[in-house]
């Protein structure tokens, strides 16, 4: 296996509890891969097995083309930054960054040159003599990244590196990490529970849930072609609308949506549709398409600037649907109105099953 980071049938049990269950993926060379999932899904445990901090129950770990399943942390040559991997409080920024180099017995001159280079990279040249407690949270994480990069690791492992910081600082650091990564091109694995962070930073996203992989894909694939109900619900806001399968289509109210050829007649189906994919037609303006739409009542309408958010109630079964649309598509629509809604882009799943025959094929690979 030549990928810079790869795991193969990796599992980890703590007593009778399986935290990581048969996980396999390879991170794209020179890119950022995100390991995305809710808290407790096993992300950190995968990262810790890659770092050599946890021993797998079964499976294998590869770093820079070498199998590293049971080797020591030092031998793996990975750099890591953790949310709570504190800096050394009694050391200056400079000494913190130099730490990995002094452990490796690099010469003083070599250490100084490398530390200067990294302080420049993370834009903290003027903070070299400060102590960690004299820095902001964001600055501390930049020092932590410089320290991780100093010994020129082969790969970089980041575990919720911005998790403890407030939203505004997270945004700034995200942009900053993206720039640094473009400059260095080091293969990186970023653990996060924040789907926006994953979609924005990562070239490839591995979605985890309860110790297993739900889907591997690009940001676009994960967002637009979710392979499972879990991914559809976790990555981006989505309405879940319940209906019944009739000849390969799903009936929701009066509407038939295609995409259920993989489900048996008469079975229950769930459609996932994003608020901005719900189409709304005012009945007076509807043409022949009206037959493909479901009547609904506008229960609530909130203006959010250039878009509005609508809470719709489907006539018949009363299911609630959230729509969010540009205001210029909503002219003349008011609370209490009867409208027609269309879920043309809906993604259809069996209540707990896979999306389609295509994802069955993918799952079998």
Selection from ligand ADP, Mg ion, none that 287 binds (CB < 5 to 8 A by kind) is: none
Question: Tokens representing 8?
Answer: 């193969």
Q: Which residues touch 275 (CB under 8 Å, ≥6 apart)?
A: 237, 238, 239, 309, 322, 323, 324
Among 11, 41, 44, 187, binds Mg ion (CB under 5 A): 44
Question: Tokens representing 7?
Answer: 């795991």
Selection from ligand ADP, Mg ion, none that 94 binds (CB < 5 to 8 A by kind) is: none
Among 4, 23, 36, 43, binds ligand ADP (CB under 6 A): 43
Q: Which residues touch 352 (CB under 8 Å, ≥6 apart)?
A: 229
d(CA 187, CA 157): 9
Among 4, 6, 11, 45, binds ligand ADP (CB under 6 A): 45
- CB under 6 A: which stretch of 32-40, 137-145, 254-262, 290-298 binds ligand ADP? 32-40
Q: Where are the alpha helices (DSSP H) in the chain?
A: 43-51, 73-76, 93-103, 108-121, 137-149, 167-184, 195-201, 219-224, 229-234, 357-364
Q: Is 44 in the site for ligand ADP (CB under 6 A)?
A: yes
Q: Is 14 in the site for ligand ADP (CB under 6 A)?
A: yes
Q: Min. distance of Cβ 160 from ligand ADP in angstroms?
A: 8
The rounded radius of gyration (Å) of the Cα atoms in the chain is 25
d(CA 281, CA 27): 44
Q: Is 45 in the site for Mg ion (CB under 5 A)?
A: no
Q: Is 107 in the site for ligand ADP (CB under 6 A)?
A: no
Q: Min. distance of Cβ 238 from ligand ADP in angstroms?
A: 21
Q: Which is nearer to ligand ADP, 16 or 107 (CB)?
A: 16
Residues that bind ligand ADP in the complex, under the rule CB under 6 A: 14, 19, 37, 39-45
């Amino acid at each position: 296996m030549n990928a810079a980071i790869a795991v193969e049938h990796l599992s980890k049990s703590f007593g009778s509890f399986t935290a990581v269950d048969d996980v396999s993926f390879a991170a794209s060379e020179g890119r950022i891969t995100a390991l995305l999932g809710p808290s407790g899904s096993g992300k950190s445990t995968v990262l810790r097995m890659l770092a050599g901090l946890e021993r797998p129950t079964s499976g294998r770990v590869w770093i820079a083309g070498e199998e590293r399943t049971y080797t020591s942390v030092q031998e793996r040559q990975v750099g890591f930054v953790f949310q709570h991997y504190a800096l050394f409080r009694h050391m200056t920024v400079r000494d913190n960054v130099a730490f990995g180099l002094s452990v490796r017995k690099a010469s003083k001159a070599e250490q100084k040159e490398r530390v200067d280079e990294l302080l420049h990279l993370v834009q903290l040249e003027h903070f070299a003599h400060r102590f960690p407690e004299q820095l902001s949270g964001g600055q501390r994480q930049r020092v932590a990244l410089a320290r991780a990069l100093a010994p020129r690791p082969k790969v970089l492992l980041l575990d919720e590196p911005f998790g403890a910081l407030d939203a505004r600082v997270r945004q700034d650091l995200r942009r900053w990490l993206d720039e640094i990564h473009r400059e260095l091109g080091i293969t990186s694995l970023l653990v996060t529970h924040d789907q926006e962070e994953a979609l924005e930073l990562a070239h490839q996203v591995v979605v985890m849930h309860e110790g297993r992989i739900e889907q591997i894909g690009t940001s676009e694939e994960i967002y637009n072609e979710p392979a499972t109900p879990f991914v559809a619900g976790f990555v981006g806001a989505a309405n879940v609308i319940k209906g019944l399968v009739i000849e390969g289509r799903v009936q929701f109210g009066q509407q038939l949506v295609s995409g259920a050829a993989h489900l048996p007649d008469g079975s229950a189906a769930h459609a996932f549709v994003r608020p901005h994919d719900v189409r709304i037609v005012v009945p007076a303006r509807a043409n022949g398409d009206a037959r493909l739409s479901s009547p609904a009542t506008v229960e609530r309408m909130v203006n959010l600037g250039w878009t509005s958010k609508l809470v719709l109630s489907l006539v018949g079964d009363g299911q609630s649907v959230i729509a969010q649309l540009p205001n210029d598509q909503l002219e003349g629509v008011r609370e209490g109105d009867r409208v027609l809604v269309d879920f043309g882009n809906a993604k259809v799943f069996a209540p707990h099953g896979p999306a389609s025959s295509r994802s069955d094929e993918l799952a079998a690979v």
